[in-house]
Amino acid sequence: MSHSQIGLIGLGTMGAMLALNIAEKGFDIAVFNRTTSVTKTFHENAGALASKITPCETIEALVHAIAKPRAIILMVPAGDPVDQQIAALRDYLDPDDLIIDAGNANFHDTDRRAAEAAKAGPRFLGIGVSGGEEGARNGPAIMGGGEQQDWDRVAPVLTAIAAKFDGTPCAGFMGKGGSGHFVKAVHNGIEYADMEMIAEIYGVMRDGMKMSAQACGDAFAKWDDGPLKSYLIEISGKVARTADPDSGKPMLDIILDRAGQKGTGRWTVIEAQHLAAPVPVIEAAVMARNLSARLEARKEGQDLFGAAPEALPEGTLSADDLEHALIAGKILCYAQGFEMLRSANAPFDWDLPLPEIALIWRDGCIIRSAMLDDMARALTDAPERNLMYAPYFAALLKTHHAALRKVVGVAARYGLAVPALSMALSYFDTMRTERGTANMIQGQRDFFGAHGFERTDRDGTDFHGPWAM
């Protein structure tokens, strides 16, 4: 009866695919879903893998189907559903059984659950899983956080199901408490930023260069053969080239321009503010999703001011300009994400393995990209250095920042909104300006609040100006 090596709760998009992946790798798995018919249908459709899967109609039956000490994966929405499942499991689990939250949790919740588990058990591990439905089925990237011994206990299963890059599993232990979910949140922040910059370049092609969806798709497909090679560029090409079977129109022409979001990008920028970690491209991407939801207001604005985008004169921008701008933007947004990871170490007493994170992200996850191998090398060479200053990426930025400036400049001139690309450029310019303008901020603060300032010509921190009120 109790023969399953692992259990899983939540047979939705991700959970169902993870369960099949686990069964396919040879592990016996017991599964439970809140809606029983889903469990039945899942098992009926599992084909040759059905014999490895024990469908359970109650939490109690699930627990009894798993060999001790038990390990149970939760794949349910973040927040209350996770706490509800933990509470339901507590009635049946032993203190040394292990609950693994594999959904997208806010890492503060994971910290709290880990602390509660440490007091009374059962044990708790928080793992970030990325790769969407296809990744869950064929190999996601996995970032674990909690107690090393708990990670070690389930690592054979997690590394078996993870994506492999040149044979190396894209799975690793990030550190204690919520560190795995923190790394996953930053991953999602980079995901938001990369998606937004791609969408902005699509907007320049569609509204500025009057290119069809098919032509935009062709451009993305071509770039997927070069330095931009990545999952997001690949699927953007596929999305742009797909036609709606009902109307025959390009899918992009019938999809409403209102972006959904489940909260991970927002968690990232809120945490970035707490950490004083500058992630302006990610912030712009979250802001753009929020603005996209304001359909009525945008219509009112267009009626009042006239439509913003204007067609560009022929030859204003080339395909190379767009590709090079995206290369620069991509380097800068990943650099910001890694800087944010590093800035979390001191306050949370973590030692996030930045080079290993880049290695893990090389495959399986949504932000997988040809650049990540070089990022891993750069972070191994100098773990404390901002990626934009690493020789390989500095050389790319020296070559391509002019295109980023050109695209942002042209977009501003012709009314094409490119907030994330603009933020990438501002970050780049700020990070290469030795003497900035915060001296004026300090002068203002001292003028109105006697907050004091430092001087360029003397040591000390509390100088004041001879301001006339």
Nearest in space to 85 (alpha carbons), one of 130, 140, 44, 122: 122
Q: Which range touches ligand NDP (CB under 6 A), out of 8-16, 59-67, 345-353, 426-434?
A: 8-16
Q: From the list 262, 299, 432, 451, which residue makes contact with ligand 5RP (rule: CB under 6 A)?
A: 262
Q: Determine which residue in the list 366, 388, 390, 403 makes contact with ligand 5RP, applying CB under 6 A.
A: 366
76 annotated as belonging to a binding site for a ligand: yes
Binding mask 9-48 vs ligand 5RP (x if CB under 6 A, - otherwise)?
A: ----------------------------------------
Within 239-268, which residues bind ligand NDP (CB under 6 A)? 262
| E strands present in 152-307 | 164-165, 168-169, 171-175
Taking the C-alpha atoms of residue 384 and residue 338, their distance in angstroms, rounded to an integer, is 10
Binding track, positions 172-211, relative to ligand 5RP; x by CB under 6 A = ----------------x--x--------------------
CA dihedral 41, 44, 50, 54 (to 10 degrees): 50
Q: How many residues bind ligand NDP (CB under 6 A)?
A: 23
Q: Which stretch binds ligand 5RP (CB under 6 A): 78-86, 151-159, 254-262, 395-403?
A: 254-262
**DSSP per-residue string spanning 5-42:** SEEEE--SHHHHHHHHHHHHTT--EEEE-SSHHHHHHH
176 annotated active-site: no
Letters for 12-31 (x = contact with ligand NDP by CB under 6 A, - = none) are xxxx----------------
Please name the residues in contact with 307: beta carbons below 8 A apart, sequence gap of 6 or more.
415
Catalytic residue at 210? no
415 is an interface residue for ligand 5RP by CB under 6 A: no
Give the angle subtended at the CA of 432 by the CAs of 226 and 205, to the nearest 5°.
Answer: 40
Torsion of CA 383, 389, 391, 393, to 10 degrees: 100
Report how far residue 442's alpha carbon sits from residue 375's, in angstroms, rounded to the nearest whole number.
36
104, 106, 179, 236: which one binds ligand NDP (CB under 6 A): 104
Instruction: Give me the amino acid identity at 427.
Output: Y
The secondary structure of residue 432, as a DSSP letter, is T
CB 215 within 8 A of CB 350: no
Report the relative pairing of strands 71-74 and 53-56 from DSSP bridges: unpaired
78 is in an annotated binding site: yes
Q: Which amino acid is at 234?
A: E
Check the annotation: does 294 bind a ligand: no
Residue with tokens 């949370």: 348
To ligand 5RP, the closest distance from the beta carbon of 171 in angstroms equals: 15
Which amino acid is residue 82, in one-letter code?
V
Only one of the segments 127-135, 205-213, 289-297, 346-354 lies at the binding site for ligand NDP (rule: CB under 6 A); that segment is 127-135
User: Which residue in the shown chain puts its C-beta closest to ligand NDP?
Assistant: 12
CB atoms within 10 A of CB 99: 26
Q: Is 132 in the site for ligand 5RP (CB under 6 A)?
A: yes
Please tell me what DSSP assigns to residue 205.
I
| Rounded CA separation 329/456 (Å) | 33
Choose the stretch contacting ligand 5RP; rule: CB under 6 A; options: 169-177, 256-264, 272-280, 370-378.
Answer: 256-264
List the binding residues.
10-15, 33-35, 76-78, 104, 130-132, 187-188, 192, 262, 289, 445, 451
Annotated active-site positions, please?
184, 191
List the binding residues for NADP(+).
10-15, 33-35, 76-78, 104
Contact positions toward ligand 5RP, by CB under 6 A?
104, 130, 132, 188, 191, 260-262, 264-265, 366
Contact positions toward ligand NDP, by CB under 6 A?
10-15, 33-35, 38, 75-78, 81, 84-85, 103-104, 129-130, 132, 262
